[in-house]
Structure 1
Amino acid sequence: MKSYDVAVIGSGPGGYVAAIRCAQLGMKTAIIEKYNTLGGTCLNVGCIPSKALLDSSHHYEDAVKHFEEHGIEIPGEVKINLEKMIARKNGVVEQTTKGIDFLMNKNSIDVYHGLGSFADATHIDITKENGEKEQIEAKKTIIATGSKPSTLPFIELDKERVITSTEALSLKEVPEHMIVIGGGVIGLELGQVYRRLGAEVSVVEYMDRIIPTMDAALSKELTKVFKKAGMKFYTSHKVKEVTRNGNSVTVKADDKKGKEVVLKGDYVLVSVGRRPYTDGLNLEAAGVKVNDRGQVETNDHLQTNVENIYAIGDVVKGAMLAHKAEEEGTMVAEIMAGQKPHIDYNLIPGVVYTWPEVASVGKTEEELKDAGVKYKSGQFPMRALGRSRASMDTDGFVKILADAETDEVLGVHMIGARTADLIAEAVTAMEFRASAEDISRMSHAHPTYAEAVKEAALAATDDRALHI
């Protein structure tokens, strides 16, 4: 039986980063992955493949709608080859997952493919696909098993017409009418992919707005852009029934007043969130506790109730984000090595990779109001930027919220071109407790989208934006 200082169960962004950091710190490390490829949901059926399809569909939409205005003429009709588009996405996934194989080898991390299951707190059984079993010993273990798509109790996921995000990434045809249940990140991203490719898309959301956890102004702007693109929204609607008849699916939902709406389509994408995934781990054998939401319980150091076992990522409390899992994986490895790392969860950014992109960090305006915090707000529209006009990406804005007395930046919310990258400026500023005036006095290159951040900071500082 092989013995290790650390065993990591799960090879998603949290797991493989934790394994690398453990190895860097001199620990003999093993990683256990249930599936044949490393990378978890994010690399195989999440972040990476969805971005590949978003980019491909964006190119198609530009060719159909915008190339002519740029002076680019394409003889004949622009056509979609969905099979080729999916194949390119698969190629991106394969290249990325092979990169993880390289990193495991480079850092001398032993990789086990099979279902990891606790025999006790220091021994893990690994069951391969062919049924073969082996056992390893680990002084410490990191649980990084991630999450799976959630559903509603009355919905039967047949994975053909009533599907999750996993199946939506590999459809054989462009839907005629895709009904998306859930107006969160995943549903909106995949909804935009298929809307661009020609599908009618209807989004049914239980809350009164899409992306309900983000600042309300972002929701309002994104809804406006999507409606302009032809997407339909049914907010404040509670889905009560989903039925399939052949290739037809029907969704019934009630609004707040109990009035029923009936939607008919050929695909239903169920995108109502994700649940922690601990199936098969046999946590009971190790004595690890989970809460009533299925999350592994941990303390501030991400240590479970069993001293030598830790848990990170989607399987513990907090936002289900790949970069949050990575930070936790690094933190746990460093704690194990006797260091004293720290994560400020308020400064974990959230991003929606639609176009325009949506990004946010810190407190929303609604949260500040609820907490009774006195704040000031500065906002600057993307349409006022020369860079935005040059690229025809004029939708959106940057909004900065700062403390009314100290001017410290409390939250930054942006929607527009490349805001997924721009948000890092806000995170950096807030990590160093910057004021709105600090940001406003930094030189931003011209012409760039980032100038909107400077202008929003100026707007928050005595309302002195220069270009509006």
Structure 2
Amino acid sequence: MSQFDVTVIGSGPGGYVAALRCAQLGFKTALIEKYSTLGGTCLNVGCIPSKALLDSSEHFENAKHNFANHGIIINEPQADLARMVARKNEVVDQTTKGINFLMDKNKVTVFEGLGSFESATQVKVTKNDGSSEILETKYAIVATGSKPSTLPFITIDKERIITSTEALNLKEIPKHLVVIGGGVIGLELGSVYLRLGSQVTVVEYMDKIIPTMDGALSKELTKVLKKQGMKFMLSTGVQSVERNGDSVKITAKDKKGEEVSVEGDYVLVSVGRKPYTEGLGLEKAGVELDERGRVKVNDHLQTNVANIYAIGDVVKGAMLAHKAEEEGVFVAETLAGQKPHINYNLIPGVVYTWPEVAGVGKTEEQLKEEGAAYKVGSFPMRALGRSRASGDVDGLIKILADEKTDEVLGVHMIGARAADLIAEAVTAMEFRASAEDISRMSHAHPTYAEAIKEAALDATGKRAIHM
């Protein structure tokens, strides 16, 4: 029987990072993954492949619609979806092999098979050939992630009625892609096929898209995506999804309670994700789940069984790769007797449409609900020299600051490179910067980041220079 200090079940961003950090800290570490490649959903069928297709489709969009504005004249470009998917697969392959290299480098023992608890200190690895072995472990970290959710009356056939996993490997560009759910995943994959020539209709139960983000971002993104050609059916609850050959019909009720319908050749069901705990044998170890099927943990990410921890999508909180990574490091360092911290208020959220959308901290809706006294500063990307130079003039930066102390409470942005720009806001807020602090820092010119400074100036007394 093999013995380890720490056994990690699941090799997604949370799991593999936890394993690496444990190994760095001197623990004899095992990592169990049921699939043949490491990296979990994020690297294989999530973050990385979707961004690869988003970038490919964005290049096509620019070639078709924007090159001429820059004085670049080419023949009518053609979209080769098969080559885009092949490139996506190459990116995934390179990235997952990079994780294998890191495991070898840090002497983490990798087991391929299904990990399940036999007891609180014994984990069984069941391999694809049916054989198994038991690992004796002092600590265990559950990092099994999540899988796409669906609605009770929808049958995912993986052909015409699909999830994000199948949407990453389509053999043809849909004529009409209907997306059920106006959240991050649906909008990103909807954007991919919109750019490639599909008609895209988003059906959303709430009255706005990206409903958990600041309302200003939802409003602006809706406007921009409509301009790009995406259609929206908001405040619309899906009642049924029926396939007839190569056609799929969605029947729904609008906010007036009236029946509406839409037909497409593909339907992407993107209504969130649910924690993956099937087959883990948590009951054998005595680990408790909450009412939503998530593993119960305390503030130290420790389950009710003292030597077992859980991280990432399988526990409460935002289902984000970088949140899982932070939690993986947190648990490893906790086991080593260190005093790590995670500020969950400062885990940024990003939508990789174009323009990109990002936010961190409190939204204006949350501050209003809390009755907080705050002030708002904003700056339109259209007023920025760098935006005009690149042609990326859609979007804005919005900063929320405490009315009395001027401490930044939230930063929300939509615009070119917002996914990268949000790191400045996270850094500032980690050090509890004021809007004035940001406004007095030199920002290189011309850059997109200058819009953050301008928004901070606006928040400190409507002092924006270029607006």
Identify the TM-score tier after normalising by the shorter chain.
over 0.9
Task: Find the counterpart in structure 1 of residue 182 from structure 2.
Answer: 183
1:333 is aligned to 332
**What one-letter code is carried by the residue in structure 2 that aligns with 1:343?**
I
* 1:338-417 aligned within 5 A: 338-417=337-416
Displacement of 1:338 in angstroms is: 0.5
Which whole-Å CA distance do the structure 1 matches of 2:100 and 2:408 have between them? 40
Instruction: Give runs of aligned pairs for residues 46-125 of structure 1, distance below 5 A.
Output: 46-74=46-74, 76-125=75-124
The alignment yields a C-alpha RMSD, in angstroms, of: 0.5
Matched, 1:154 2:157: no
Amino acid at match of 1:56: S
- Partners of 1:240 and 1:138 in 2: how far apart? 48
What amino acid sits opposite 1:24 in the alignment?
Q
Partner Cα distance (2:129, 2:230) in 1: 46
Question: Which amino acid is the alignment partner of residue 26 of structure 2?
Answer: G
**Hey, what does 2:43 align to over in structure 1?**
43
Q: Counterpart of 1:27?
A: 27
Q: Distance between the aligned counterparts of 1:427 and 1:273, measured in 2?
A: 25
Query: Which letter maps to 2:317?
Result: G
1:164 corresponds to = 163
String of CA shifts for 1:235-292, please: whole Å, max 9, x gaps: 1100000000001000011012111111010000000000000011010000000011
TM-score normalised by structure 1 residue count: 0.99
Percent identical: 74
Give the 3-state SS of the residue equivalent to 1:447 in structure 2. coil
Q: Which runs of 4+ in 1 moved over 6 A?
A: none
In 1, the alpha carbon distance for the partners of 2:364 and 2:14 equals 30
**Residue in 2 aligned with 1:128?**
127
SS in 1 for 2:289: coil
Give the CA deviation at 1:64: 0.3
Query: Quick one: distance in 2 between partners of 1:102 and 1:386?
Result: 43
* 1:394-451 deviation digits (Å, cap 9, x = unpaired): 0000000000000000000000000100000000000000000000000000000000
Measure, in 2, the Cα distance between the counterparts of 1:352 and 1:406. 30
Distance 1:418 1:244 in 2: 39
Q: Which residue of 2 aligns with 1:18?
A: 18
Q: In structure 1, what is the Cα distance between the partners aligned to 2:211 and 2:360?
A: 15
Aligned pairs, how many?
467
SS of 1:89's partner is: helix
Distance 1:171 1:181 in 2: 17
C-alpha displacement of 1:31: 0.1
Give the counterpart letter for 1:358 in structure 2.
V
Q: Distance in 1 between matches of 2:185 and 2:403?
A: 35
Which residue of the partner structure matches residue 258 of structure 2?
259
Q: How does the TM-score come out when normalised to structure 2?
A: 1.00
Distance (Å, rounded) in 2 between the aligned partners of 1:50 and 1:214 = 21
Give CA-to-partner distance per residue, 1:122-151, whole Å, 9 cap, x none.
111111111111111111000000000000
Matched, 1:305 2:304: yes
- AA paired with 2:323? K
Q: What is the rounded CA distance, in whole Å, between the counterparts of 1:143 and 1:6 in structure 2?
A: 11
SS of the equivalent of 1:383 reads helix
Match of 2:319 in 1: 320
Cα separation, 1, equivalents of 2:201 and 2:136: 51
Q: Which whole-Å CA distance do the structure 2 matches of 1:2 and 1:254 have between them?
A: 57
Q: Which consecutive unaligned segments of at least 5 residues does structure 1 have?
A: none
Aligned amino acid, residue 26 of structure 1: G
Deviation at 1:77, TM superposition (A): 2.4
Q: How does 1:438-457 map to 2 (within 5 A)?
A: 438-457=437-456
Q: What is the CA–CA distance in structure 2 between the aligned matches of 1:443 and 1:225, rounded to whole Å? A: 30
1:313-345 residue CA offsets vs partner (Å, 9 max, x unmatched): 000000000000000000000000001111000
Which region of structure 1 is more displaced relative to structure 2, 91-100 or 251-260? 251-260
After superposition, give the CA deviation of every residue in 1:215-245 in whole Å (9 maximum; x if it has no partner). Answer: 0000000000010111100111000000000
DSSP 3-state at the match of 2:84: helix
